[in-house]
Amino acid sequence: MLGCEEQFDSFCKKVLKNYARSYGVCLARHRGRVCFLEDISEDARLLQYFSTPSHEEAYIFRVMGIEIAVKNFFLGAALDELEENRRDIVLLAYCLEMTDQEIAEHLHSIRRTVTYRRSVALKQLKKLLEEYINGKKKSGKKNSIWA
């Protein structure tokens, strides 16, 4: 008869061996289903279902050392026209999902101030987007898309 330690050792080896076998079967099953991006880009039939957006098409904003890409052209342009502190509050609230209290702590400010600045920034964004959609925006900025 085997001792208790030897039985446990034998049991552990069987469990690991069976797990390795089942994992190998699982990998073999998934190998047939895996599709690499290189394969998609070569097959014209699949290109209609997938797109890889270029980074050139996105506005990149840096907040708290994190780059946030805004792919919507109109929203990115409108955000670009906001003051930096208001834009940061909007991006922190909606892209990084931070609460007003967390934003206030990060900016060394009061929560109520952050709430007010966010609401003002959202009103400005709405106005900028409406003006662009209606084609009425005339800006003095050199790099503005509105001019």
Rounded Cα distance between 87 and 76, Å, is 10
Q: Mind listing the pLDDT tens digit for each residue in 5-21?
A: 888 888 889 999 998 89
Give, rounded to a whole angstrom, the gap between the first and last alpha carbons of the chain: 90
pTM score of the predicted model: 0.54
Helix 111-134 with 73-81: angle, nearest 10 deg: 120
Cβ neighbors of 63 (< 8 A, separation 6 or more) are 88, 91, 92, 95, 96
Rounded Cα distance between 46 and 34, Å, is 14
- 40 has a pLDDT exceeding 70: no
By the 10 Å C-beta count (0-12 exposed, 13-18 middle, 19+ buried), 60 is classed as: exposed
Rounded Cα distance between 23 and 17, Å, is 10
Q: What are the domain boundaries of the chain?
A: 4-47, 55-134
Distances in whole angstroms, Cα of residue 17 to Cα of each of 10, 21, 25, 30: 11, 6, 13, 20
Q: What percent of the chain has pLDDT over 90?
A: 27
Rounded Cα distance between 99 and 88, Å, is 13
55-134 has CATH 3.30.565.10 classification: no
Task: Assess contact for 103 and 83: CB atoms under 8 A.
Answer: no
- Token readout for 49 is 């279902």
The residue with greater pLDDT, 44 or 55, is 44
Q: Mind listing the pLDDT tens digit for each residue in 49-75?
A: 555 555 557 888 888 888 888 888 888
